Amino acid sequence: MDKLTSMKVFVYVVEQGSFRSAANHFNLSATMISKHVHHLETSLNSQLIHRTTRKQSLTDSGQLYYRECKRILEDISNAENLIQTLENQPQGTVKINCPVTYGNKVLAPIVAKFLAHHPTINVELVLNNDLVDPYSSDIDLIVRIGDLSDSSLVARYLGDYEMCYCAAPKYLNQHAEIRVFEDLAQHPSLGFSYSSRRDVNGRDTHIRHIQNSEPQPRDPQSHQVVHTAGNKGQVRLMSNNGDVLRYAALQGVGVLLQPTILVAEEIERGMLLEILPGMAPLPKPIHLLYKTKQLSLKNRTFVEFLLASLSE
């Protein structure tokens, strides 16, 4: 017999004072109700209920066991109610890992709107450019930019990460015109560097977004844009911070290659001008990764909100 059912029967018998009432409640025969109680007494090797033809009463062991059964059944009921509430109303914390640039420019505004719509869900947004192993961390969702290696992770396509060359109007007015890709070699550049990181495929990478890459079309697997020293230009400033490079570009220091989302506002306001449209490095795919298709309600709610927001 199932002990949990026997405990429920026992508690009901005690509270109603009748085996017959318990039989009607559980839609069982009075004999089966007696068997449930006897099953408990046998497993405990102790009599729980003293019965006569006129009345029934709890033994000392029965009183103690009744209190504990009552507590256990209430705890189980509370746990079931909590789970049902969790499944019907999403709550808890969604932990997300995301590259810094995409997190600041794209994900942060969406997260703010999400929190306003879902007061019972919290978000922990971890921004870095490291390759996080989802199986050895407590991260729920991961945003990755670039081609993905074979993986058992579920991947949802979010869009493309586009790059563009740009420079300040005053720089372009004072230097030779840039008409074709090869002209970049005659201009000082601003380079983005990583002191230490690995890309999405686990490869060591160090220098990015510096001039003298090849014009499109290019090998989609090639993601490095590396400056060549000599008479082909000069890297005037290298930094691992995009804001530093963008500020230098605004001051007319040189030509900048950055993600379009970082310079879109400056280009729209005319503070920077796009150079050689269509010749920047090929866009990289952006994916949202998670470990299983069976997402918890809180995670599924965020994923659906994110996809809907990006499609607007």
**Predicted confidence (pLDDT) per residue in 138-163, tens digit:** 899 999 998 887 677 899 999 999 99
Give the CATH number for residue 292.
3.40.190.10
Claim to verify: residue 191 and residue 119 sit in the same structural domain: no
Q: List CB contacts of 197: < 8 A, sequence separation 6 or more.
A: 129, 130, 131, 204, 205
- Rounded to the nearest integer, the mean pLDDT of the chain is 84
Claim to verify: residue 277 and residue 215 sit in the same structural domain: yes
Claim to verify: residue 35 and residue 121 sit in the same structural domain: no
Whether 14 contacts 24, CB under 8 Å: no
Total domain count for the chain? 3
What pLDDT shows up at residue 233? 57
What pLDDT shows up at residue 150? 62
Q: pLDDT by residue (tens digit) across 229-282?
A: 333 457 889 888 889 999 999 999 999 999 999 999 999 999 999 998 888 888
Claim to verify: residue 271 and residue 168 sit in the same structural domain: yes
- Kindly state the tokens that stand for 278: 């269509």
Whether 106 contacts 306, CB under 8 Å: no
Counting residues of the chain whose pLDDT is more than 70, the rounded percentage is 86
Give the CATH number for residue 13.
1.10.10.10
167 exposed, middle or buried (CB, 10 Å; 0-12, 13-18, 19+)? buried
Question: Taking 60 as the threshold, does the pLDDT of residue 26 lie above it?
Answer: yes
Claim to verify: residue 289 and residue 151 sit in the same structural domain: yes
Claim to verify: residue 136 and residue 205 sit in the same structural domain: no
Give the CATH number for residue 171.
3.40.190.290
Claim to verify: residue 55 and residue 108 sit in the same structural domain: no
Task: Show the domain range for 14.
Answer: 3-88
Claim to verify: residue 153 and residue 294 sit in the same structural domain: yes
Q: pLDDT by residue (tens digit) across 77-110?
A: 888 877 877 677 888 999 999 999 899 999 999 9
